[in-house]
Structures are given as structure tokens and as C-alpha cells.
A and B are shown apart, each in its own frame.
Chain A
Amino acid sequence: MSARSQILDGIRRSLHRGELGGEARAAVEQRLSAPPRGPSVARAQLPQPEKVALFCQWAEANNATVARVSAAEVPGEVAGYLARNNLPASAAMAPSPQLESYDWASQKMLSLRRGPAGALDHVSITGAFAGIAETGTVVMTSGPEHPVSLNLLPDTHVVVLREADIVSGYEDVWARLRTRYGKNAMPRTVNTITGPSRTGDIEQAMELGAHGPRRMHIVVVRE
């Protein structure tokens, strides 16, 4: 008997039944194809402007910094943030059409390289698939336009997030994923990130900058 059937048959034996069939099977298949939502979290059920404000509030509560700017101001805000924090004016940037739409050439001091992060990159700039107002979380999907390493390797992660991409909760992100990638389909990696990396492993005290970025700066773009 294969290891697979050993486990599956063991489960069925314990549950005192054979393989699911008939109505029982139809019921679980139905639940899988039309997933029921859990209790909704009232604090994030807001009109869009308040939702954006809630996102910013929670992102800051989780140790990210937030700037709210117009599309034209994005490159200036990024260069300014790096200068204000004495960070290098060079970055690895995600090769995405959204980011390319900003006028980076206006920032003469800023040197950008498109592609995944390497061990020596101190700063990364990426877009975001969505923002979650309930917890101030940004959502990243992997693909040719967004290498995962940019979310993790550099010390500083600058995220450019459009106001229109801020949603209430996880459930809205799942709905967007199904629309964008198709039902039951997912990109290789979805990172949902809430503030900079941290650890509570020494004496239960939270310290920032464990393995991922030490700083997360979120540029929220008005439209």
C-alpha cells in the first residue's frame, strides 16, 4: 500500500466512512467553490477616504512610516525620504509599468537599477498589489514586474501604493486576486507585510530589523 493511501485510508477508517461521495461530497465541493466569509471586522468597513486614513493609522502603529502625495510628487518624496534618513540615493526598483509611469528622471541624484535585489542593495522600491486598511498591511504579488527579493533583502523598503488599491480586509484582497489571476490560481508568492521585520525572541521585547527590512516607508498616492 502506498504511503498516500495509508494516510488517506487511515483518516477514512477513523472517521468511520469511505471516500466522500454523494451529497456529502457535493456539499464540501460547493463550500470550496463559493467560500463563505467569516464575521466581518466592522472597523474597516468604511467609505474610501476613511479607509485610506485607517490604513495609514495602522501602518504607522505597526512601525512603518507613511507619506501621502500626488503622482507627480512620488519621485521627489522617495528621494527626500532617503536624504532625510541619511540613506544611499541608489535603489533596486521593481520593473513595473506603475512605477515607470512616475518621472524618476526629475531626481538627478537618485540612481535606480531595475531587477531583483542582490546582497548589496540597501534600498528597494516596489509597488503593491493592495493595501489592507484593517491592519495597515501591504500586499505584494510576485511576477516579472515584482521580484520577491525586493520585499525582503534590502535594509529599507519603499512601497508605492495607490489610494484606489486600499481595501478593507483580507477577503477583498482574495477577491482581487481571483479577478486578476483567475479562480483558484495564484502567483508563485503573495507576501502580505505589516511594517518592518521584527522579533520578540529575546525576552519577549519586540525589536525591529530581524531579517527583512529594518525600515518600511509607504508612499500613498492620491489620484
Chain B
Amino acid sequence: MQSTARNFKHNAHDALRDANLQDSLSKLKVGFSERRRQAAERLPEFEALRDRARDIKDHTLANLDFYLEEFERKVLALGGHVHWAPTAEDARRIIADLCKGAGARTIAKSKSMISEEIGLNDHLETLGIEPVETDLGEYIIQLRHEPPSHIIAPAVHLTKDQVADTFLEHHRALGFTKRLTERNDLVAEARQVLRQKFLDADVGLNGANFLVAETGSSMLVTNEGNADLSNTLPKMQIVLASIEKVIPTLEDAAVLLRVLARSATGQESSAYTTLNTGPRRAGDLDGPSQYHVVILDNGRSSVLGTRMQDMLRCIRCGACMNHCPVYGAIGGHAYGWVYPGPIGAVLTPQLIGIEEAGDLPNASTFCGRCESVCPVRIPLPGLMRHWREREFERHLTPRTVRQGLALWSFLAQRPRLYRRLTGWANRLLAVFGRADGRFRSLPLASGWTRFRDFPAPQPGGTFHTQWARQRSRTRP
């Protein structure tokens, strides 16, 4: 997928002025986040499960090569195939070859963020293969030629009315000529249109929430049942998963499942959790006769053993974006690439480069809500801070910011000068701001005062002088 992360600031400005988007985003607070809070409160073991989930992922990452080989061994023993893709290009080529080999014209896809990451759909289309997205949200944005704006609710930026218009435009040719107004009617129409696609598809392609090393199973969690239809009806199943999706055992999966659905949508359990293990067996009455797993690295292995390794614990629940004030204000598209929100701000610079995505780790208030809800306790603000440091080291930070920081560090290292200067500034602002208690505009601070007033200092001097006074008073 083509990145527009470089234009983050511009994207964010546009997003703030988009009335439909702001309407959709206003539902985030009362939707997923509130339901997550209730689900967590209903389960007394939730915090202990989060600790365990973090430990399972850390253990797996420390032994990642072992578990990947173990997974491969099990798949091969059952007559399945494992393909290793170091880069996005490798993965595209492997999948295209498999589709061509199967003589595929249509493939039924269920939601896979990695397929967005490697730009799979565009590639298949150039080869004359039609990829049909079957997750409702993915289907809607595929019709609109838009990228996903959320990792579990890809069409969360759209209102019901926008979906109705999209369906009317694209389904008219199929005989659906009425503009729908109810959500359940929209769902029913998509079901009807996509049912035929499932039956026609030659290949089913899906991602994986987990790969279980113990059994060689790929595990998928969905609410719609689309992934299950896509891995049952076509004659070939392709699973596309990145290296960090592997986990050791089914017991570990049980722990991760308990935190995944609750963190994502606040459900006790998603409707469908499916384990696929190899191709159909002798005597089976349905199921694909070919089972392929494509394992993608795409830069992830180089994160292991570094301070950034924690990002690989991510189980893609979306809780960090549901709870992020920045995501809540601008939505997912402004981030400019596949993964938005706090995890995107950490992952995107790793996957496409800090030069391209440098604005993303800076788009944070460091309020820490993302870390506080992350089911695998990824220290997201800490990782964003680390990216900011790297940007600074590599002179990617804008000149004005660097000069500002240089000036501040010059002063901070000279405490007497610092106190004298801040004292003057404080008195000056207090004198000029006495009348209103605030400033509507201020020289050198227009970036602040354009959007909000700057408060005039309260009487009593700077923090330093008040602190000194307080200490001398309380000291015996």
C-alpha cells in the first residue's frame, strides 16, 4: 500500500474538517471503549490474564525460530505447505503463483491486515485475478477504493448513510435498486451479494490471529463467519501470517483469546474461533484439498533483541486506537498507511522507515491510555518516545524544534540563568495579562493561541520560587 504518512499534518487537518468522519468518530467513546470497560469488569481474572498474555508472547519471541520450525514440521506432516516470505514482494509472488497454479479467477478473502501491508489486492488485479473482500467492513471500503481506517473495524470512519449510497451505486447492476436506510437491511444485502462470491471462489485467502506450533493449526477469530466460509468452500486455502503470529500451544491460545475479544469489541467471545489444520482428510465431506501457509517477515525479525521488540507482542485488537484521543480526533486514514493509532505510530516507522513516518510517533499526547488498555501491555508511549529520540539523533526533527530544544537545554544546564529568565517572563506575563487572566494572542506562541487562549500566570511567582518558599516554610 502506498504511504501518505509523510503528509500526516495535512491529513489530520483535513480529517478535523470532515463532518461525516467526525460524526463516526464520536461513536468510538460509547462504542468499543465502553464495552471493553464493562467486559474487563465482568471478569475478575482479566488483569492476571493480561500479565500471562504478555509473558506468553515474550516467551515465544525469545524462541521464535524454534516455534516457527515446529509449526512448519506439523503442517508438512499433514500434507500442507509452508512458504517463507522475507519481503512483501516475496509474499505477493508466492500467493500469485499459488493462485495461477490453481487456475483461480476469483479469490474469497477474509480480513488480513498483512495483505494490506503487502498490497496484495492491487497485485492480483494486475494479473487478472479478482480478490473479493468478504468481511463486511473490508467489502465496503473495497467498493469505495479506500484503505481500512481501523484494524478491526475497517469502515469505522463511515456513516450508515455513506454505506447506503455505496451499496446503491455498486449493487444497482445486480438488481438492488432501493436505497436502504436500516443497518440490518444493509447487512442482509451484502450477505446476499457475497454469498455467490463464496460459492464461486477458487481460492480462500485469510490471515491468522495465531499459528499454533503444537498442532500446526492456523487460528482465526471473526464475528461474521466469512473467514470460515472462505476456508471451507473453495478448493484451496491460503493462510497469510507474519512471523510473530506463532504461539506455542492451545493452552496459550486460550489465554490470548480471553483477552482478545474483550479488548477489541468488549465481547465475552467472538462468534467464530476456528482452528484449521492441514487440508481435508480422507473421508471428510467438505473442506479444501490444498492448504498453504505463507509466513511473512517484512522487517520484523530485525526488531527482535532491540528495545523495540515489545511491539511484536501486538495481537491486533485495536484497543489502543479505540482509546486514543488523537485517533479519536482524526481517525485512521490520517496516519497514512496500514496500521493507525498508537500501534501504527510505533509499527509504521519500523516497516516503512522513520523518514517517511516520522510524524506518527509525534502525534501523541503521551496520556498513556493505550498502554493502560493494551492486552499484552506494550509500552506504547515509551516506544513512541524511543522513535522521537531516533529521529532527533538522525537529524530528522524539524529545524525550529531542534533550535527550540537546543535553547531549552542551554538554559536547563544553567539553573541560575534559567530561574532569572523565567522569573522575568513570569512577571511580565502577569503584568500584561492581569486584566483578562488570559492572552488571545502572544508573540512567538501563535501555534498555541490560534486555537486556544494562553493562561496568564497566577500570582506567587514561578514554580521554582513557590517550591523554594514551600520548602523553607515546612522545614523545621
Contacts and interface: CB of A to CB of B under 8 A. Distances in A.
B225 A3 contact: no
Nearest to B68: A8
Contacts of B136: 199, 201-202, 210
A188 B248 contact: no
Interface in B250-293: 250-255, 257-258, 265, 268-281, 283-287
A190 B226 CA distance: 15
A142 B302 CA distance: 39
Given A198-B224, A210-B224, A11 B45 contact: no
Contact of B295 (A7, A195, A205): A7
A200 B135 CA distance: 11
Contacts of B295: 7
B248 A35 contact: yes
A81 interface: no
A189 interface: yes
Contacts of B186: 202
B274 A189 contact: yes
Given A32-B214, A39-B49, A210-B136, 12 more contacts: A7-B243, A10-B86, A25-B66, A28-B63, A28-B248, A152-B228, A152-B232, A189-B231, A190-B274, A194-B271, A194-B273, A210-B225
A149 B297 CA distance: 33
B252 A38 contact: yes
Contacts of A185: 215
Interface of A: 2-4, 6-8, 10-12, 14-16, 19-20, 24-25, 28, 31-32, 35-43, 58, 61-62, 115-116, 119, 135, 137, 142-144, 147-149, 151-153, 169-171, 174, 177, 184-205, 207-213
A186 to B, nearest CB: 4
Nearest to A41: B45
A11 B61 CA distance: 9
A7 B254 contact: no
A116 B285 contact: yes
A197 B271 contact: yes
Nearest to A40: B45
B251 A16 contact: no
Contacts of B163: 202
A6 B84 CA distance: 9
A192 B163 CA distance: 30
Given A3-B85, A4-B84, A149-B286, A210 B226 contact: yes
17 contacts: A7-B295, A8-B68, A28-B67, A62-B268, A147-B284, A152-B225, A184-B74, A184-B215, A189-B231, A197-B271, A202-B140, A205-B31, A207-B183, A208-B184, A211-B224, A211-B226, A212-B271
B82 to A, nearest CB: 8
A148 B286 CA distance: 7
A171 B62 CA distance: 24
Contacts of A20: 63, 65-66
Given A14-B301, A14-B304, A201-B154, A189 B232 contact: yes
Nearest to B90: A3
A204 B83 CA distance: 36
A203 B269 contact: no
B228 A62 contact: no
A111 B407 CA distance: 84
B187 A174 contact: no
A172 to B, nearest CB: 10
Contacts of A149: 232-233, 286
Nearest to A16: B305
B121 interface: no
Contact of A212 (B44, B70, B229): B229
B69 interface: yes
B304 A211 contact: no
A177 B231 CA distance: 21
Contacts of B69: 8
A204 B276 contact: no
A188 B257 CA distance: 20
Given A190-B274, A202-B183, A14 B154 contact: no
B254 A170 contact: yes
A119 B195 contact: yes
A19 B62 CA distance: 12
Closest 8 pairs (CB-CB, A-B): A212-B225, A38-B255, A210-B224, A201-B137, A204-B31, A35-B249, A14-B304, A170-B254
Contact of B297 (A10, A170, A203): A10
Contacts of A16: 305
B229 A153 contact: yes
Contacts of B59: 31
A144 B286 CA distance: 9
B159 interface: yes
A174 B251 contact: yes
Interface in B127-154: 134-137, 140, 153-154
